[in-house]
Amino acid sequence: MVAEPAVYTPQAPKNLKALSMEWSVEISWESDDRAFVAEYVIYRQAGNQRFEVGRTKELAFRDESLSPDTAYTYLITAVSADGQEGQPGTVTAKTRVATKDPIEIVVVEMQDILSNSYKIYEDEGVGRIRIQNNSGTFISNLKVSFTIKEFMDFPSQTEIQNLEPGKTSDILLKAVFNNKILNVTEDTPVQTEIRASYFYNNLPREFTRTYTTNIYEKHRMMWNIPERFAVFVTPKDPVVIDFVRASITSFGKTESVIQRAAIVFHTLGAFGITYIPDPNNPYQITSERTDFVDYLQFSRETLNRKSGDCDDLVALYAACLESMGISTQVVEIPGHMLMMFSTDIESGNNADTMNGLFVIHQGRLWVPVETTVVGSSFMKAWEKGSASFYQWQKNGLETIDMRTSWRRFKPASLPEIGWRAQAVSQQIIEGRFGGELVALKNMELKLKSKKYYDILAIKPNDAYALMQIGIIYGKGGSTKEAVRALDEVLALDPRNAAALNNKANAFFMEGRYEEAARLYEKAGALEPKDPLIWVNQARCYQEMKDLPNAKKAFRKAFELDRSITVRYRLMALELLSGF
């Protein structure tokens, strides 16, 4: 008969003690046969069932993530090296009444929300919270969500990978708002909701905090960040685009930046736009108070109401010019706002401001404009703007670049409306300011060509300088001056194909098509591999109703450069058919 080894069953742990905390219980015990015990098993009693909550080789165990002010019964058994589990020892404990949640959500900062700047909160957030782990255990994969009902389609979420006991983690509350936020018609208090959730022992735990903040309706502005003004400058608003298009197109192709800016300024005046200071919140008061919530109009509203404060008029005029691709900047001086725009004319080394009429900025000539005198001549607005700029240049003047500001404060996306501003006829503008428009165009052409005239002062027969002067005046519509300069080039070099082509362009603009055609033919003979000369010649023949020669010229251009069918689609459709 084979003897079987004895199997040892451990004794029950004795002298069990429990130290209760808010979310945990520290259990300890004694064991008379510890040398024969491999481990201890800790159970939690729930009704007639018990659940294992842990194992340990020590004479103590900490049960965590419990509910406060709750009684718990624990059973502790010993397991021998043979795998035999003995009888349990029992202890009951009641957790303390909690004064804090295991996860505490502290609002460090919560901003009031300016609805017109709602896009900025996607990156910069609306506030900051601090998550504190008040429990005695590590918390992993803690998810924090933030939402404002009705104005956010989905909560924003952040995850904390590990949060040690007693430690904190700061979280930026980002918010992606829907377009409903722009429908807020009055300043509205709203409840924000912050949720922190995680799993412990496969059971979900969640804690919620609400906090009240305000959503300001879309006309509100705070001057603590002046660049926020950019949201009111809306160059892509169809109302603004249509107004500017109607203003400019009636004057035909206008290359002059200053002239286009003057046309829009005159059109605004003729339309009836006037300056009316805000009696409730005048800019000179509100701009000095960075904590004050001001009221501003969008450009379409200033057009519709035909009036506005200085900041409203600046926003409108800047939006109009930016819609044409003209760079603008807001000019802030103590108690007032004006603006300036870039002529895109290089200032050069020996910059000439024309006795303080222009401002040199970023290597270009800029035109300051006092928008509050809308309805007067553009020159008056320009002179007053320049005087203010230089008066305050070293005494409190600040500028806001629209395009730089838009990187952070994007223009508000306004809903589509059916209203459009009534067009002002070209005859009205020319009747009131026609002479000024011509003078402004000539001034700009002289400024653009000045550096080439400076070259001619040293080298009177410089063909390149003469050519550039001809091109500048030709593009500006001053064809007689263009032809005069190009004739000087041809006197120096009668076989200069570029000069012949540009002179032909001037004749074409004057409607002298037969003379232009002859010059294009000469230029093409001298530079037969230049496709643009042949395109110009084809266009000239089109105007002369000579379709065979037009097709022949365009075909030559196409053979030299097939991409011209993209650049000149309509001509290609008409003139390449039949080949």
3-state secondary structure of 128: strand
Q: Quick one: tokens of 99?
A: 């004064």
In this structure, what DSSP letter does residue 156 have? E
d(Cα 497, Cα 528) in Å, to the nearest integer? 10
Indicate if the pLDDT at residue 421 is higher than 80: yes
d(Cα 40, Cα 433) in Å, to the nearest integer? 99
What HEC string does 400-443 produce? Answer: EEHHHHHCCCCCCCCCCCCCCCCCCCHHHHHHHHHHHHHHHHHH
What pLDDT, in 10s, does the model give residues 50-69? 999 999 999 999 998 788 88
Q: Quick one: tokens of 170?
A: 């700061």
Residue 426: φ, ψ to 5°: -60, -35
What pLDDT, in 10s, does the model give residues 520-578? 999 999 999 999 999 999 999 999 999 999 999 999 999 999 999 898 998 988 888 75
The full set of domains in the chain, from first to last, is: 14-94 (2.60.40.10), 103-216 (2.60.40.10), 231-406 (3.10.620), 442-575 (1.25.40.10)
**For 288-293, which contacts have Cβ atoms below 8 Å and span 24 or more sequence positions?**
288/223, 288/334, 288/335, 289/223, 290/222, 290/223, 290/224, 291/222, 291/224, 292/222, 292/223, 293/187, 293/216, 293/220, 293/221, 293/222
Residue 436: φ, ψ to 5°: -65, -40
Mean pLDDT of 141-156: 96
Please indicate whether residue 253 or residue 331 has the higher confidence score (pLDDT). Answer: 331
Indicate if the pLDDT at residue 370 is higher than 80: yes
What pLDDT, in 10s, does the model give residues 434-449? 788 788 888 888 888 8
CB under 8 Å to 41, separation ≥6 — which residues? 52, 54, 55, 76, 77, 78, 79, 85
Confidence at 162, pLDDT banded by 50, 70, 90: very high
β pairing state of 89-94 and 71-80? antiparallel
First to last CA, the chain: 114
Mean pLDDT of 251-255: 78
Q: Quick one: tokens of 144?
A: 């924090």
> How confident is the model at residue 5, as a pLDDT?
65
Helix (H) or strand (E) holding 286: helix 283-286
**CB of 222 closer than 8 Å to CB of 298:** no
Residue type, position 225, single letter: I
**C-alpha separations of 311 from 3, 282, 487 in Å:** 104, 10, 50
Q: Where are the beta strands (DSSP E) in 201-265?
A: 203-216, 220-222
CA 64 vs. chain centroid, Å, equals 48
Indicate if the pLDDT at residue 377 is higher than 70: yes
> How confident is the model at residue 520, as a pLDDT?
94
Q: Any bridge partners for residue 80, and if so which? A: 37
Q: Residue 91: which of 28, 152, 164, 6 has the closest Cα?
A: 28
> How confident is the model at residue 2, as a pLDDT?
54
Indicate if the pLDDT at residue 191 is higher than 90: yes
Mean pLDDT of 412-429: 89
Helix (H) or strand (E) holding 119: none
β pairing state of 328-333 and 336-346? antiparallel
d(Cα 465, Cα 455) in Å, to the nearest integer? 7
Q: Residue 579: which of 557, 551, 553 has the closest Cα?
A: 551
**C-alpha separations of 425 from 267, 430, 435 in Å:** 9, 9, 16
How many C-beta neighbours within 10 Å does residue 125 have?
19
**CB of 66 closer than 8 Å to CB of 96:** no
3-state secondary structure of 55: strand
What pLDDT, in 10s, does the model give residues 17-47? 999 988 889 999 999 999 999 999 999 998 8
In this structure, what DSSP letter does residue 185 have? -
